Amino acid sequence: MSELNKIALQIISNGKGILAADESTATMTKRLDSVKVNSNENSRLLFRQTLFSSLSMKECIGGVILYDETIRQKTTTGKTIPELINSKGALTGIKVDTGAKVLAGSKQEKVTEGLDGLRERLKDYYNLGARFTKWRGVYLISDKYPSDLSISANAHALARYAALVQETGMVPIIEPEVLMDGNHSAKDCFNKTSEVIKKCYEELELNNVNLSGTILKPNMILPGASSDEKISKEDVAELTLECLKNNVPSSVPGIAFLSGGQTEIEATANLNQINIKNNTDFIMTYSYGRALQQSALKFWSKDINNTIGTQEIFDHRAKMCTLAAKGKWSENLENS
Ligand code: 13P
């Protein structure tokens, strides 16, 4: 087993999942604005430190993805944030892309940037304690999107990123996110996501990336957020598993889904069903941002010094997600 494969398995085995707390300062400011908390370095640190100190970290969270600001911060007790995360038995991850920018040649689509100077930045992050990384490609979906150009440009960037990350001794999370925005059907999402993922693996193989030392972070197969289509969790699970089985090489150890705008309960119920039906060798777990943090953030915003109360809300969510990663969640556990 390679060192990179060991790291990947440490993050996602035994029902553990990933806490995606890597919102950029602009996105975190939007989240804090929505609950009427002033966004500044200290408030962002306090909320994140509160979550990372929670009891469920040891049992449920194998890795935490940070943003550049957070990986350099110290907690109020003097530990660095990576030291706090490590003390809970989890690994520190870091978002290393510099965001999705307008893709020249396709006015409405985006390509993720950040390859320039990446090798040097990765060394810095490794020295700060990071052992895995994230890069997110985003894809619009409609009858004409994603275009071949967007599929190809984002796959190319993801693969070059992944090769550089492995060179530095870290595990790259490959995140091609087909967005939920739009009125497309689940079948459209299935078809386009399949194309996107297939292209990513073509490029990853071309760039000699060791797939056993990577984690895929895809969207689940769902109808668009403004579509009228209603879909059962059984159908979400079936389509998602079919898409991944057809397009992800078997040397990939695991898949950690993004929540992408699903509610906390939807993201948990769908992951649970995927694990009940999992007919692949892939570990299937979570790498949730909003679906792990939303309720905790709302509660915390009422009294930012109520650490214990906020942690109880986060602990509940993390435990539910970990049960779902084992296929052992049920709706009645939500109220117990
Ligand atoms: P959500 O779970 O809120 O979609 O965030 C996950 C993520 O990391 C997006 O890049």
**Cβ(289) – ligand 1 distance below 6 Å:** yes
Q: Is the pLDDT of residue 1 over 80?
A: no
- The reported pLDDT for the residue numbered 247 is 98
Cα-atom radius of gyration of the chain, to the nearest Å? 19
- The reported pLDDT for the residue numbered 23 is 98
Q: Is the pLDDT of residue 76 over 90?
A: no
Q: Is the pLDDT of residue 107 over 90?
A: no
- The reported pLDDT for the residue numbered 336 is 73
Confidence of residue 313 (pLDDT cuts 50, 70, 90): very high
In the three-class reduction of DSSP (H, G, I as helix; E, B as strand; rest coil), residue 69 is classed as helix
**Cβ(220) – ligand 1 distance below 6 Å:** no
Here the tokens at position 289 are 């941002």
Q: How many whole angstroms from 224 Cα to the centroid of ligand 1? A: 16
**Cβ(180) – ligand 1 distance below 6 Å:** no
Nearest CA to ligand 1 atom 8: 20
**Which of 31, 288, 293 for a ligand 1 pocket mutation test, highest count of atoms within 8 Å of Cβ?**
288
Domains contained in the chain, CATH given: 11-95+282-336 (3.20.20.70), 96-258 (3.20.20.70)
Between β-strands 17-20 and 283-288, what pairing exists: parallel, antiparallel or unpaired? parallel
Which residues are identified as catalytic? 175, 217
Q: How many whole angstroms from 290 Cα to the centroid of ligand 1? A: 6
Confidence of residue 228 (pLDDT cuts 50, 70, 90): very high
Q: Is the pLDDT of residue 20 over 80?
A: yes
- The reported pLDDT for the residue numbered 35 is 98
Confidence of residue 27 (pLDDT cuts 50, 70, 90): very high
DSSP calls for 73-125: -B-TTS-BHHHHHHHTT-EEEEE----EEEETTEEEEEEE---TTHHHHHHHH
Could you tell me which residue, 154 or 76, shows the higher pLDDT?
Answer: 154
Nearest to 304 by CA among 86, 36, 61: 36
Here the tokens at position 18 are 């990933």
DSSP state of 331: G
The answer to whether the pTM exceeds 0.95 is yes
Q: How many whole angstroms from 83 Cα to the centroid of ligand 1? A: 23
**Cβ(161) – ligand 1 distance below 6 Å:** no
In tens, the pLDDT along 271-311 reads 999 999 999 999 999 999 999 999 999 999 999 999 999 99
Nearest CA to ligand 1 atom 10: 136
In tens, the pLDDT along 189-217 reads 999 999 999 999 999 999 999 999 999 99
Q: Could you give the residue ranges of the DSSP H alpha helices within the chain?
A: 3-12, 25-34, 41-52, 56-60, 68-71, 81-87, 118-127, 148-167, 186-206, 233-247, 264-277, 290-302, 307-325
**Cβ(290) – ligand 1 distance below 6 Å:** yes
